[in-house]
Amino acid sequence: MSAEVNRASDAQPLCVLIIDDHTLFRSGLKELLERRGIEVVGTTGDGEEGCVLAQELEPDVILLDVRMPGMGGLTVLERLTEAGVKTPVLMLTTSTEDKDLIASVRGGAKGYLLKDLEPDDLIGSLRKVMAGERAIAPEMAGVLARVVHGDEPVSDSDDRFAELTPREMEILCHLAQGESNKEIARELGISNGTVKLHVRAILRKLRVRSRVEAAVLAVEEGIGTRKQN
């Protein structure tokens, strides 16, 4: 295992851990982020070592590849959850497979990005995740819209959706379309703070941990399409 750890003496506003098995990509990504004022506290190409570093370094965000030899990204997600790691995880991958996106969301990832994205989009996504938003590659938003039934059945989903108020259901439809709080607030003519309160209530009633999971549930139930009707 070959991990690179770097903790600067002056705290940066955002600290990132990179877990990716491609050495050149790790190196280039580290340089790119640091040029943008983001501190990369560690990099590794080994999933097991990544789990250890995540607990030791306590970064603000973890950038995690899906497909890696040995312990893959989805297993890393599972291990981090079992270890009680609360750091948000942003998947950064070349995989456009439906099953990888759904499994990542189910595993607790806060976002799913493709490696061909623009640098500014990556930085923006990191900021969104830190602000409690989700970050999904536009290409994968289309995948979500097509996934009416996921790989895993959703138990007692009807009962959970029945608990939502009409306004919460309306906002859930917007979440399923991949819209941010600001976009929802603008479309519905309400404040950003009000949207946040509704989103919290939606997560609680659906018994999920993130906006991404709520959106996937909605898409699986066909709720996301109702916004257009």
* Domain containing residue 170: CATH number: 1.10.10.10
Distance CA 126, CA 62 (A): 9
Distance CA 61, CA 164 (A): 31
**Which domain range does residue 193 map to?**
150-228
Provide the pairing of β-strand 111-114 with 89-93. Answer: parallel
Give mean pLDDT, residues 108-121. Answer: 90
- Asked whether the whole model's pTM tops 0.75, one would answer no
Give yes or no for residue 12 having a pLDDT over 50.
Answer: no
Domain closes at, from 145, 161, 189: 145
Distance CA 112, CA 43 (A): 19
**Lowest pLDDT segment from 61-70, 127-136, 215-224:** 215-224
156 and 126 inside one domain: no
Residue with tokens 């250890």: 52
47 and 156 inside one domain: no
Distance of alpha carbon 161 from the chain centroid: 22
Distance CA 65, CA 53 (A): 15
Domain closes at, from 145, 172, 195: 145
Contact 139, 96 (CB under 8 A): yes
**Lowest pLDDT segment from 26-35, 82-91, 174-183:** 174-183
Domain closes at, from 145, 162, 178: 145
93 and 167 inside one domain: no
117 and 214 inside one domain: no
* Tokens read off for 166: 């009409």
**DSSP character for 148?**
S
165 and 196 inside one domain: yes
37 and 139 inside one domain: yes
40 and 127 inside one domain: yes
54 and 102 inside one domain: yes
Three-state DSSP class for 114?
strand
161 and 71 inside one domain: no
Residue range 55-80, pLDDT digits in tens: 999 999 999 999 998 889 999 998 99
55 and 134 inside one domain: yes
Domain count of the fold of the chain: 2
Helices (H), the chain: 23-35, 47-57, 73-82, 98-106, 119-130, 138-146, 157-162, 166-176, 181-188, 192-206, 211-220
pLDDT for the residue 146: 52
Contact 15, 37 (CB under 8 A): no
78 and 17 inside one domain: yes
Q: Cα separations (Å) of 47 from 75, 100, 103, 179?
A: 8, 17, 17, 32
* Domain containing residue 8: CATH number: 3.40.50.2300
79 and 93 inside one domain: yes
